[in-house]
Structure 1
């Protein structure tokens, strides 16, 4: 009695699946983290770039939201003033602005004599007002001369840096009525930097001299960073973003990844950085653990692979070849059944399935061909009945369809596209069902009103066919076959490539048949005249590429005139 391990594939497959569950994950993880270090570095650089860009945008928006709002307030006060400032309403206006923006520490509006109103969000620390007053006084004098003042970074004792702004308030004649002054705190920027420091990212904000204005590392404030690789680039080219790896000039010269983004207004820059060892700490630890797991799993996979390879590979290869043949449409191949285990049963089932699928596919193909033939025959019968309304157009749709198919072949269209062209050409005049017989059969030239009704047959035909799901692909050919390559056609006035290709093909075939058959308004023209006329219409009424395909089909004998042509 043989050991059950060899009678059933359950046991070897179980062992193999255990190995395959461990080995691929371990090997892929190990290979990824050990061989794609540069890719991880790229992702880290992208992260730092996004952080730098985002913080630079926050800085810019902060100044727009605070300084820009104060400038807008000065303009609003100017608009509401006549010959003097509305001092009775000023306290409420200033208080509302200070209340709405916690970063605005103080606002005041002074008239030309230096008198006015002020609102303060909170008291300044001791000694702060002594530093602010001279600066505000100088700014007031500049304001009287119609010059705005903005000091982007003013250091105060016991207070984060502030921005001091001063805007003249101008009257309707351009005279200075007063000066609006404000003090805006930058404490929010320091808080925001602290949030980034918690994520392991060092953020510095530098000015155009390379001095560090803000930093998530407190010991860097005020230091000269002009020799910093990213800052040096900013000093040389202020508008350029940069992300690179470099040695940290402020620490132990460890390798760091950093990114710089200019702010714009104010003319500062944001530098975000993280040490490479910190960025890859988890990566390195995971690589070590993965190596140990891969070693054990690799030994197991090797042993299992040697034992099972010959028993599994050959039958599976035969099944794979059969499935490939079936996928390509060949249902005649069979797999030899050489065992009674699961693989043998699977092979036998595959053979039965291939035979059943082959019969089903053959039956479906035959039914599809019959349905297509039935559809085309029905369409031919319908169009023949429409053409029969007028003795001059009898057989017109069938001829146009044959010409269109020949042109489509010489344009290089595939079989399915040619079938759509044929059906669209057969149905191109189906809309004439909705045109009065008196107009269709009128032997004299149509009036403008009658011609307008006749032109509607393209839209009516498209509407008729739109309700039939299987024919929706041919609607463009029905609707647009009277459009002109150079424009001016109907119903939509399309031009050039905007006209569907199937419509351009039908247009050429329609024009050719119209000139080579006798109509109430003209006799059939000579073939030489018609061919010259077709060349003349290329580029105006007809697509030149379609006309070239028409002549190619004519020369090859694939397009034979079927109308009552006169041979010159």
Structure 2
């Protein structure tokens, strides 16, 4: 095929380089070219050397792991067999003394002579030794607490029963005491003296066993001793005792290197069985530690590679910065704009295409900023208009009864203060403010004769008055934006014990906003002059509200109210002309209270 120089030249000029420069930054493109030219030869040569080093490392790891795990397994087996022989010696002592004595007498004699105590003093690996017959006679000695003894007795009972039933020696698998984070192995032996049957049992603390291991581990190596279920019963790091490890792969690959993960670390490991016991020894080393020397070689390769390309990189960076920095400035500006910072401007001087783009961006941001400010101004205006409107509406409702004039606004202020002491956020406080102003809007639908009646309402009149929360709710229901606020309007006469109205809600069923307004409404009603009562002393009212906490009112809301009251938050709202009539009782809503 004839080489088409024209097509190749067109390919180089347009497609290939155009795609690269449009996909990646100029700085990155120049850096990559420099690195490729300087590093490729170095990488090829060092790659071969690293592979050889890794191969030698794995051979060394296999030999080291096999040796260490075998030594630990062998020492563990020997130690446990020594424990068996010591128990056998106690058994022999008992049998020797049985020539002229019964088993209960022997047990009493051992207890009296402190034989078992002396035995444990010379055998610190054993935490508990027990001699017991079928008639309930027993002697024991401890190297641990009585609480631990009780826990050990619970575990030993089954093995003692099996030993007596089967009349044979029983050796338990490792037993874990959860509450003490300790593993034990039980040795239970039958003891038969004449017609008397009993057992001798010891509990070997595996912590003491593993503490006596004399294997010196190379730097970075660790070991675990696990049972057949994978529970860790011993470890170089004792905090791991009680944890679990998946030993499926270790059971299949005994004495072979295993690459696995443990506690979030990649490890190289190997395992060996402990002969005669349901245990295995796992030795492991973090892969990062094992590969330290290989990693060092890789680091040196990277270092030499960096030095090799450093000169070329400096030159490419110097040339690319002239293009990259202005573009990067524009990127930073657009990121800030995306975070609603419309005061930022691109500060790029020049006359090239980048400068023109920066000026266009600045102009667009200025227009957006002006538009946003106009919108914010309109939002603030609409909010003020809304609050003013509902305030005027609340005042108009209150004005229907000269005795409740200003009531809604005072309830609002009290409710907001309580909300602050409850730790509510700004949005929740704003809802309380609106709900407080509108909580009695339903009184628009109540006959003026009832509202202005100068005395206590009749039962029929009170039933009519009780409709105002639902009337108010229905008035506001079409306004979806007031959905949460409307809960305060509808339920502010509900009581904590469920005796309120309109739905008889109780406890947490009552929305928090309604529970707050209920306390504020009561406080203002009782401290204001009404045709059927004189204003009560504020402290007297506070105490009465506290008396009804958990009955009419939410205890948490009452606590916030009392804290605010005691801090003087309501002093400006209280009428200085109110009488000191602290003998009045709270008037029950079902007696005709119009609030």
Please give the range of the TM-score, normalised by the shorter of the 2 chains.
Answer: 0.3 to 0.5
Give the TM-score, by structure 2 length: 0.45
